Structure formats: C-alpha cells, structure tokens
Amino acid sequence: MQVKIIGAGLAGCEAALWLADRGVQVKLYEQKPAKYSPAHKSAGFAELICSNSLKAERPDSASGLLKIEMKMMGSHLLDAAETARVAAGGALAVDRDVFSTAVTEMVENHPNITVRREEVTALDESAPVLVASGPLTEGALAQAVAALTGDHRLSFYDAVAPIVTAESLDYDKVFAASRYGRGEADYLNCPFNKEEYEAFHAALIAAERAPLHDFDGDLTVYEGCMPIEVMAARGADTIRFGPLRPVG
Ligand SMILES: Cc1cc2nc3c(=O)[nH]c(=O)nc-3n(C[C@H](O)[C@H](O)[C@H](O)COP(=O)(O)OP(=O)(O)OC[C@H]3O[C@@H](n4cnc5c(N)ncnc54)[C@H](O)[C@@H]3O)c2cc1C
C-alpha cells in the first residue's frame, strides 16, 4: 500500500514513521527549502516554530496523558524529544535544533519513506493522501482543501513569546523556582509588589504593538492561548489569575 503525506512537520513526520513501521510505502512531500511559510526558517523536518515546550508530563494533565498514549502507540517523535530534552521542571521541553535533526534523520533513513522536497499544489485522490501541511497552509493547496471542506476556514493569530536575555536580569530581585511547585528550580521568577504590578499592567496596555502578519487574518484569538496584551486589556485581574500564576 502507498500513502502520500503532504508536510514534514510534527504531524506529517509522526504519521510517516508510524505508517512506514507497518510496511506502508510512504511518499512524504515537503516544500522546504524551496519554499518557506512566513514562520518556518530551517530546512529540517519537525521544526518547532515557537515554544520549545511539549508541555506537562504528569499523567493527570491532558498533555501528560496524551504523551503516555503516544508512547504506547510507538511515537518516534517522543523518542526524538527524549534525545533533545532540556531542563524544564515538570514539562518536556527540547532543544529545537537537536529535535529537528533527530526527526529528520529518522525519516530520511527509514527504508519505507521516500522524501520529495517539493511543494504540493493539488490533491490527487487516486491514493490515500494525508494533508499535514499545518496551520499556515496557503496558496493552491489551501484552495484545494477549501474546495473539499467548504468555505468555513480556520483563522490564525501569531502570539509570539517575548524573549528576555538572561544577562539583562537583576539577580538581586529575580529568583529561581520550580513552576507550580513541581520539578526542579528551572524557571526564573520576577516578583512584583502591588504598585509594581499595576505599573507593569499599565505599561503593557500602553506598549507599542508588533504589526500583524498577513497570515494573522482577523483578530479572533484562541481563548486557550492568547497574546498577553489581549488578556491585559480585559482587566488587571485577567493576567493575575491566568498566565502569571501564582496569584499575589
Ligand atoms: C508562528 C507560530 C507559532 C506557534 N506557536 C506554537 C506554540 O508555541 N505552541 C504550540 O503548541 N503550537 C504552536 N503553533 C502551532 C504549531 O504550528 C503546531 O503546534 C505544530 O507546528 C503543528 O504541526 P504540523 O505538523 O501540523 O504543522 P507544521 O509544523 O506547520 O508543519 C507543516 C509542514 O508542511 C510543509 N508544507 C506546508 N504546505 C506545503 C505544501 N503545499 N507542500 C509541501 N509541504 C508543505 C511546511 O513547510 C511544514 O514543514 C504555532 C504556529 C505558528 C505558525
């Protein structure tokens, strides 16, 4: 049996390896390096384009349970994540370059996977096709998918994580601790008193905003993963009870 997979991101690589292990002949199409989305930058497979965290490992969390289920199913990407693991308390976080290299090698060395480095622009349904081209699917392929699924499209909004250099921190004030009291002291914490917190909140709301990318579409944000300035605009308590836990 032959299966065509479009996209060598996390989903496409995991699917390709799983099928190939079971004797399916996989043709995996990847448009990089000939063409990059506005967010992808490296030619490697399974490129993590934002956070390097694959989230919590505790079995009583949804992401921890999912990892256990993936391990039981023989996930190769979790093997690669183990190889690339970096300290992150109770979460599984990876060095994104080591992770991508490990996945690329697994895929390229699998005897049942043929890699084609080319953009797919149409859906040929003469054989099973798995579309794993990710949230930034665009152009002819996006139109082909829309023709099959109808006009109700997903929207995308890029909430880029701000990066603060470690050298810029005042270690008389900043302290290391575990996150939510779990795991090692792998996270740096910046405590605020009430006045400082209120000044931070006011500065955040008044701050200059990054211009939107073309692919950001409208301003519909996903409630489970929102830009901090959008949350801040909902009131000072929103970030205090949300991502800046613990409350205080
Ligand atoms: C800017 C940005 C930030 C994000 N931040 C986070 C985050 O912090 N945490 C999180 O969990 N998720 C985040 N996401 C979502 C993230 O993309 C997914 O979690 C994950 O990458 C999805 O994996 P995927 O395999 O579906 O798609 P991708 O990782 O996007 O892989 C798709 C692959 O398909 C290829 N491709 C696309 N079109 C074609 C074509 N026509 N022909 C051939 N190849 C094609 C692409 O080059 C790419 O390699 C973010 C997404 C973006 C865009």
More confident residue, 143 or 68: 68
Tell whether the model's pLDDT for residue 14 goes beyond 70.
yes
- CA–CA gap between residue 80 and residue 94 (Å, rounded): 9
Q: How far is the CA of 166 from the centre of ligand 1 (A)?
A: 28
The confidence band for 154, taking pLDDT boundaries of 50, 70 and 90, is low
Q: How far is the CA of 7 from the centre of ligand 1 (A)?
A: 9
Of 44, 26, 112, 63, the C-alpha closest to 224 is: 63
More confident residue, 189 or 217: 189
The confidence band for 217, taking pLDDT boundaries of 50, 70 and 90, is low
The confidence band for 245, taking pLDDT boundaries of 50, 70 and 90, is low
Q: Can you tell me the mean pLDDT for 158-186?
A: 81
Q: How far is the CA of 133 from the centre of ligand 1 (A)?
A: 7
More confident residue, 159 or 62: 62
Tell whether the model's pLDDT for residue 103 goes beyond 90.
yes
> What confidence tens digit (pLDDT) does each residue in 48-95 have?
988 899 999 999 999 999 999 999 999 999 999 999 999 888 899 999
Instruction: Give the model's pLDDT for residue 248.
Output: 41
Instruction: Give the model's pLDDT for residue 118.
Output: 97
- CA–CA gap between residue 148 and residue 144 (Å, rounded): 7
Q: Which two tokens stand for residue 131?
A: 């579309």
Q: How far is CA 9 from the centre of its chain?
A: 10
- Give the Cβ contact number of residue 156 at 10 Å: 17
Mean pLDDT comparison of 18-32, 46-60, 144-158, highest-scoring range: 18-32
Q: What is the DSSP string of 129-195?
A: EEE---TT--HHHHHHHHHHH-S--------PPP---GGGS-TTT-EEEEETTEEEEEEEE----HH
What value, to the nearest 5°, has the Cα angle with vertex 87 and ends 86 and 92?
Answer: 70
To test the ligand 1 pocket, which listed residue (4, 5, 13, 31) has its Cβ within 8 A of the most ligand atoms? 31
More confident residue, 112 or 183: 112
C-beta of residue 134 within 8 angstroms of C-beta of residue 38:
no
Instruction: Give the model's pLDDT for residue 246.
Output: 53
C-beta of residue 76 within 8 angstroms of C-beta of residue 106:
yes
- CA–CA gap between residue 187 and residue 88 (Å, rounded): 7
- CA–CA gap between residue 243 and residue 228 (Å, rounded): 8
Q: Can you tell me the mean pLDDT for 5-19?
A: 98
Lowest mean pLDDT among 135-144, 149-158, 182-191, 226-235: 149-158
- CA–CA gap between residue 161 and residue 14 (Å, rounded): 26
Instruction: Give the model's pLDDT for residue 161.
Output: 65
Ligand 1, CB cutoff 6 Å, lining residues: 6-12, 29-32, 37, 39-40, 49-51, 119-120, 132-137, 141, 158
More confident residue, 175 or 38: 175
Give the chain's domains with CATH numbers: 2-149 (3.50.50.60), 166-241 (no CATH)
**Bridge pairing between strands 91-94 and 182-189:** unpaired
